[in-house]
Amino acid sequence: MCDRERGWSVVPELKDRGLAEDAELPEPSRPPRPPRSFRRPGPLKTWQFTAAAATFGLVLSAVVVTAAGPWDSGQRTAERAWAASREADGGADHGRDRGEPDPAPAAPDVLSALGAPQGSAPAPTKSALADVLDPLLKDPSLGTHRTASVVDALTGEELYAAKSGDAVTPASTTKIATAVAALTALGPDHRIVTKAVADPGANELVLVGAGDPTLTARPDGNGGSSLRELARATAKSLAEHPREGKLRLSYDTSLYSGPGLHPIGPNENIAPVSALMIDEGRLDDSASGPAARSGDPAAAAAKRFAEMLREEGVRLEGGAPQASKAGAKAEELGSTASAPLTALVERMLTHSDNDIAEALVRQVALASGEPASFDGAAKAVEKRLRDLQLPVEGAKFADGSGLNRADRVSARLLTALLAKAADPAHPELRPALTGLPVAGFTGTLKNRYAFDEASGAAPGTGLVRAKTGTLTGINTLAGSVVDADGRLLLFAFTASGTSAPQAAQSTLDRLAATVANCGCR
């Protein structure tokens, strides 16, 4: 069988040009042929493809209920239908008005309607997994240091390990730790609230930043926080309780402390970290990916807020708003709330959003009594994960986004984080799974598993759901698959010292696809 018949893409290889986090790459180069022990199955079962790609939450629901017994009663059928209704959008739709990728297509009651396995599917054996993964993990494209962990989501048992305890630079897969820490510390319904306040009788209005990078000045807030709505609410309050003379506008960013500039310096992948910004400090109309950023996002947000207040009829003094601090007795004039934390976490994971990641770890710090800074967030995240009894030995959380090369996370910690999110005892952590990009469908995996008209979907398309990680010389992939027997497995693969990012990504993708396509027993 030729490579194309197997589903492997064949394109020219390009040299590493120095990568920022999860930068768009050309199509991967032609990989080596799969090992002989790779058992390529026949066409994907409809239930498997749909359950994994369309409604991952359904598969997770199946795992949860299977832990209590097989799908053998009317109650189980009702639970399947309920799960389908709860997961109608595939868990990754965060607004599509500005060119964001569409969510994975949803399907009703996949497990019963499409013939998914009944009861608990068999788990792969350790020896069989080793037979198919060992040869791929030795591929030279994975650089000088490779680690791996594969875990059974139902039992939590580690089925495959290769230096899985080694703490390595995780790149953007550290966002999985950020997600779990934030959901643990804040709860899934938490919202970040930006306010406009003023002292009683005073003529100074203060725009108070609360650490919401998704606050938007664009016309459609997509159910999240809106600077326009805040301006309208503030203007209405001032009209109902007028003040003498013109008003001054200032802004308060005192919630955050420490350096605002990420250690990587000015960069199109992240704005200066500030408690106040609009549209992540973007200077274009993009909603994700690299973009030119404001050098002072707080001042830019306050300036735009002043313009909106004037448009609403509020009389403001001329000149640019200045930084200040809201008084202890300041009264709220208006507020606007972000989308729930569940949506923020999913958006962060799907699109590898660095600005949201840095905001969320600072929210964790505040909830943990630590300063909202890089150092405070690092302490808070580690404490939250340690409290969950996760294997944090050797881990270091120098930031929340994974842009910092000082971050250290092991493959075992990554799979443990995913297993905790799949644990029926922790439903609040579920967005750490549902937000993962779907291979060939969403986010940073949308273009990693190319569809070929001649051979159909590439191996792993719709079956792999994973967080990507890319820095120069670092490539990582961690997430979940539904294997050929219907078992939900969790995996983490890391590669350090890589020299050709396209080839490394291709091998990582094949590792994940191999787990998905293997009934390894």
Q: Which of 9, 29, 226, 352 is catalytic?
A: 352
- Phi first, then psi: give them for residue 236, nearest 5 degrees: -65, -45
341, HSE (Cβ side, Cα atoms, 13 Å): 26
Bridging pattern class, strands 464-471 and 456-457: unpaired
Crossing angle, helix 411-422 and helix 56-66, to 10 degrees?
80
Place of tokens 């080793």: 130
Gap between the Cα atoms of 266 and 350, Å rounded: 23
Please give the Cα distance from 84 to 115 (Å, whole number).
15
Active site residue 29: no
Three-class DSSP labels, 269-324: CECCCCCCCCHHHECCCCCCCCCCECCCHHHHHHHHHHHHHHHCCCCECCCCCEEC
126 is catalytic: no
Within 8 A by CB and 6+ apart from 235, the residues are: 309, 312, 313, 314
DSSP three-state, residue 149: strand
Given the residues 141, 149, 172, 225, the one annotated as active site: 172
Measured N-to-C along each axis, helices 354-367 and 374-387 cross at an angle, to the nearest 10 degrees, of 70
Dig out the tokens for 281 from the structure. Answer: 């400090």
- Asked if residues 480 and 490 have their Cβ atoms less than 8 Å apart, the reply is yes
C-alpha dist (Å) from residue 232 to 236, 247, 309: 6, 16, 7
Q: Annotated catalytic, 352?
A: yes
Would the CA dihedral through 21, 24, 29, 34 be positive or negative?
positive
- The catalytic position among 45, 175, 195, 383 is 175
- Kindly tell me the burial class for residue 369, based on how many C-beta atoms sit within 10 Å of its own C-beta (0-12, 13-18, 19 or more): exposed
| Selection from 336, 182, 326 nearest residue 255 by Cα | 326
Report CA 464 to chain centroid distance, whole Å: 15
Contacts of 366 (CB under 8 A, 6+ apart): 211, 255, 372
Which residues are within 8 A (CB) of 11 and not within 5 positions of it... i.e. 6 or more apart?
26, 27, 28, 29, 30
Q: How far apart are CA 472 and CA 267, in angstroms?
A: 15
Q: Concatenated DSSP letters for 318-361?
A: SS--EE----TT-EEEEEEEPPPHHHHHHHHHHHT-HHHHHHHH
Catalytic residues: 172, 175, 352
